[in-house]
């Protein structure tokens, strides 16, 4: 699959992006209404807004987890409308790392194997997967937790495992949906500090949050309300 390269190509470029859903009973809901934005390589941006504002819908579109109803979306210079489902999944796997509020770790699987999982879909050998997963866990300060299962770790440690899993494929951008939402203040602070360090290392970070304190840690804040960008600071 052709892929754009070079720092001049934005990580994400959206032009007039809309997303509509038809509910039971035929009611049409416009979750996004003509959103346009560019997020550059290496940026640290927060998408901010109240519940129902459209911020999670926007993140799902940026992460190629959903397709827009209309408008143009380019991820690393590639127009997602030109890709079939298989090529879209490949772009997502190779370009984007995901961190979710609920961790989404396999309960009966070690931290090492949880982190290695995305590399299965790339055809990386078992030895290669484990080597890269070990390095990713060491990068987030969990080199001593390789064989532990999620139930044997704190919430903050589980989120760091999730971040290691997002990083193991060397993504250009990390999308984080309420990454501190299930954490206490101390663990939330540790996770935000880790995201900041990753950004300083060159990974673009885009986080979705309704928490003003979390959003304030980003260098750019994109405020969404009623499916539109209200302001971009």
Phi-psi region of 231 (alpha: psi -120 to 50; beta: other; left: phi over 0): beta
Alpha helices in 81-203 (DSSP H): 85-95, 111-120, 126-139, 155-167, 185-200
pTM (predicted TM-score): 0.87
Give the three-class secondary structure for 71: strand
Domain boundaries, the chain: 41-67+94-232
Residues 210 and 48: beta-carbon distance below 8 Å: yes
Nearest to 206 by CA among 80, 103, 214, 228: 214
- Digit-coded pLDDT (tens) for 137-171: 999 999 999 999 999 999 999 999 999 999 998 99
- Digit-coded pLDDT (tens) for 18-68: 999 888 878 899 999 999 999 999 999 999 998 889 999 999 999 999 999
DSSP-assigned beta bridge partners for residue 174: 97, 205
Q: What is the CATH number of domain 41-67+94-232?
A: 3.40.50.300
């Amino acid at each position: 699959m052709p892929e754009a390269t070079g720092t001049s190509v934005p990580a994400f470029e959206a032009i007039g992006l809309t997303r509509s859903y038809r509910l039971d009973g035929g009611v049409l809901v416009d979750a996004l209404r003509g959103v346009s934005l560019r997020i550059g390589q290496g940026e640290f941006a927060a998408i901010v807004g109240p519940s129902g504002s459209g911020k999670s819908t926007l993140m799902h579109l940026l992460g190629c987890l959903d397709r827009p109803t209309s408008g143009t979306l380019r991820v690393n210079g590639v127009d997602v409308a030109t890709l079939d489902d298989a090529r879209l999944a490949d772009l997502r796997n190779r370009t984007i790392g995901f961190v979710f509020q609920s961790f989404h770790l396999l309960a009966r699987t070690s931290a090492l194997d949880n982190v290695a999982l995305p590399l299965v879909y790339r055809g990386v050998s078992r030895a290669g997967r484990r080597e890269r997963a070990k390095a990713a866990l060491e990068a987030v300060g969990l080199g001593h937790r390789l064989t532990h299962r999620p139930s044997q770790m704190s919430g903050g440690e589980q989120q760091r495992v999730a971040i290691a899993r997002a990083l193991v494929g060397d993504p250009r951008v990390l999308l984080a949906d309420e990454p501190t939402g299930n954490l206490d203040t101390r663990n939330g602070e540790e996770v935000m500090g880790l995201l900041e360090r990753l950004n300083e290392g060159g990974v673009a970070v885009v986080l979705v949050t309704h928490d003003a304190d979390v959003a304030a840690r980003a260098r750019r804040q994109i405020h969404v309300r009623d499916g539109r960008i209200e302001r971009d600071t």
